[in-house]
Amino acid sequence: MSEASSVVVHLLDKEFRVGCPPEEKENLIRAARFLDDKMREIRASNVLGLERIAVMAALNLAHELLLANGQLSVQQDGGNRVGRLLERVEAELSALREN
């Protein structure tokens, strides 16, 4: 495991120093840019105050993540359901072949 290094990111024109492993530096910078874009969108909708904007961005991103996870669960359940239906169809076809 490599040692953490310090990376400077900018959110709404403010500088933040964050510790991160060197191999994750590019991912951290991309995540910070993404977050900065979201925060700027929120600020553009007349939400004032860095703390309030940050909380709104966090809530929006958490909501999107939960939706994405929920959709993934539905797809997995749907896949299991399709698998069970295929098993039933195969069993019926086998029974028909035997008769």
Q: Name the burial class of residue 91, with classes exposed (0-12), middle (13-18) and buried (19+) by CB atoms within 10 angstroms of its CB.
A: exposed
Answering whether pTM is above 0.85, one says: no
Chain Cα centroid distance, residue 99: 52
CA pair distance 78, 96, nearest whole angstrom: 27
Give the chain's domains with CATH numbers. 5-98 (3.30.160.880)
- At 54, the amino acid letter reads A
Q: What is the pLDDT of residues 19-61, one digit of tens each?
A: 999 999 999 999 999 999 999 999 999 989 999 999 999 998 9
Chain Cα centroid distance, residue 75: 16
